Structure 1
Amino acid sequence: MSTFLSRLDPWWLPRALVLGALAFVIFGPLANLLLWTVAEKWYFPHALPLEFGFSYWERVFSPRGNAVESLTNSIVVALLTVVLSLTLAIPAGYALARLKLPLRGLVLLAFLIPQAFPNLTVYVNIARLFYVVGLNGTIPGVVLVHTTHGLVYAVWIATAAFAAVDAELEEAARSIGASGLRAFFDVTLPLALPGLLASAIFVFLESLDEFTGSYFVGAPDVNMLPLLLYTAGAGGNYQIASITALLLLIPSIGFMLVVERFLKVDVLARVGR
């Protein structure tokens, strides 16, 4: 017994307490969220719901609940944002990775500008401009706003993905007669595809969770899941808000697992280089 105690790490208890606290901080809110999705009655001072059920799920997915429409709009907008962002990011990322452009660092930094200013003031002015040109309250208008944020991830990760591909492979294809375009599509693009896939997922998740732009440019004509979540939470409908949050959380977790698999360390190491 004394030998066992002498070999016991004296720091095991503080480490266990720290790990337990971290687990509570990470999984505690998730557990609370899941309980609210099936809680029929739950109020203070009860630590657990008094009644469980799925009546709020029926309300969320009823024709008057707007969840199906909001989910459809959110997915459509996110997919269109991915397509538009990658359409712009692939040629831009390739140029930034391969060509010796002047002020390359400033060009990359310019894509961070939408994140550098308070979103509220920016979107108020964008909404006014879009109202004049007829884009306010439309899906194309929401897609354009989401793309301004999505380009940050799309361009930076695409640049890193193309930089991680050895330029000599493309040169070897050119040396045996392949045109520049064919060398790009047959050699460079397939090798950069995992990074571009990760870029697309980041853009998709950013668009799916975007609230401020969706609110000022899309509401009330374009219903989105973040808007439904905000309305439910502001009205004290915690069950509906939790169900909506779960609908947003599930694809986020799934896609992040895909990102962890495909976005390799060598790609991350080249971000911003």
Structure 2
Amino acid sequence: MARAGIAATPAGRPVLSLDLWWIPRGMVLGLIAFVIFGPLANLVLWTVAERWYFPHALPLDYGFSYWGRVFAARGNAMDSLANSLIVAGLTVVVALALAIPAGYALARLRLPFRAAILIAFLIPQAFPNLTVYVNVARLFYQLGLNGTIPGVVLVHVTHGLVYAVWIATAAFSAIDAELEEAARSIGAGALRAFLDVTLPLAAPGLLASAIFVFLESLDEFTGSYFVGAPDVNMLPLLLYTAGAGGNYQVASITALLLLIPSIGFMLVVERFLKSDVLSKVGR
């Protein structure tokens, strides 16, 4: 912030002084804002650009005709959007069904090699996706899962499980075990204590876990391409096809469809994923 003050000269006359450090600070903040919001502004412009080519800095014509083409009956956008939402929803269900018991066991039980188990969920992220999915596609083709929604869901679960298990473990670790013991002491069984006490308290963390898995599935391209294409159309595949074909309007509209839920859900995560849960991640 700029600092202004009144200083006295040797003659005793007051002189206004001004701290000019706000100039470089403002320039740095402006540069950061441009780096973050510049590409987003360019994306939004492309969604309404009818004609835009070099050397013009702004579109020559604006309109929504490309929105009509994207959502036309013959377009693939609605099918791709529906498939993406279905796959992401099923991925969340499967991932949480595995992550809730796994996270509870890792948080409450004294398991041997607990740290190694947690690290094992990172293995799918440790190898290049391309080589892994080529072999997965070959295996799924033999099993009849290639080009099917269940096959795509299985691939997405392997990537989303690391978020689901790690955050679920942190959520359960942040809950005092004495609360369960108190419920057990007044006659509640183990399952009843878990359902009535532990699970509701862990719900915000589990909700954040579900959102992370949903967003990971919604944006997953490599697995969707090698396992699902061309039978299962997804929004990332439509984005890639439009961008590779030079149709930047369609690609930008598709990217905006992917961006809106990401921003909205991340705001929800920021609200529900508290610092006490984050401090338990990986512990």
State the match for 2:191 in structure 1: 181
Give the aligned residue type for 1:68. M
Per-residue deviation at 1:118?
Answer: 0.0
Distance 1:2 1:253 in 2: 42
Give the aligned residue type for 1:72. A
Q: Equivalent of 1:238, from 244, 248, 260?
A: 248
Q: Deviations over 1:228-262 (max 9, x none)?
A: 00000000000000000000000000000000000
Q: Equivalent of 1:247, from 248, 254, 257?
A: 257
Q: Equivalent of 2:71, from 58, 61, 67?
A: 61
Identity of aligned residues (%): 82
Trace 1:97-112 onto structure 2 (pairs within 5 A): 97-112=107-122
Give the aligned residue type for 1:208. L
Per-residue deviation at 1:13?
Answer: 1.1
Does 2:96 correspond to 1:93? no
TM-score normalised by the chain length of structure 1: 0.98
Distance 2:130 2:62 in 1: 39
Q: Equivalent of 2:217, from 185, 207, 210?
A: 207
Unaligned runs of 5+ in 1: none
Unaligned runs of 5+ in 2: 8-14
Q: Deviations over 1:158-194 (max 9, x none)?
A: 0000000000000000001000000000000000000
Does 2:181 correspond to 1:171? yes
Distance 1:166 1:3, change over 3 A: same
Q: Kindly indicate which of the two structures has a greater share of residues assigned to helix.
A: 1
Give the aligned residue type for 2:81. L
Q: Equivalent of 1:3, from 2, 6, 24?
A: 6
Aligned length: 273
The answer as to whether partners of 2:175 and 2:198 remain within 8 angstroms in 1 is: yes
TM-score normalised by the chain length of structure 2: 0.95
Where 1:3 maps in the other structure, the secondary structure is strand
Per-residue deviation at 1:89?
Answer: 0.1
Where 1:40 maps in the other structure, the secondary structure is strand
Distance 2:207 2:16 in 1: 52
Per-residue deviation at 1:7?
Answer: 5.2
Distance 1:178 1:16, change over 3 A: same
Distance 2:267 2:100 in 1: 23
Q: Deviations over 1:75-103 (max 9, x none)?
A: 00000000000000000000000001011
Per-residue deviation at 1:224?
Answer: 0.1
Distance 2:252 2:168 in 1: 34
Say what the alpha-carbon RMSD is for the aligned residues.
Answer: 1.2
Q: Equivalent of 1:270, from 262, 277, 280?
A: 280
Distance 2:98 2:5 in 1: 68
Where 1:236 maps in the other structure, the secondary structure is coil
| Structure index of larger Rg | 2
Does 2:153 correspond to 1:143? yes
Per-residue deviation at 1:25?
Answer: 0.4
The answer as to whether partners of 2:5 and 2:18 remain within 8 angstroms in 1 is: no
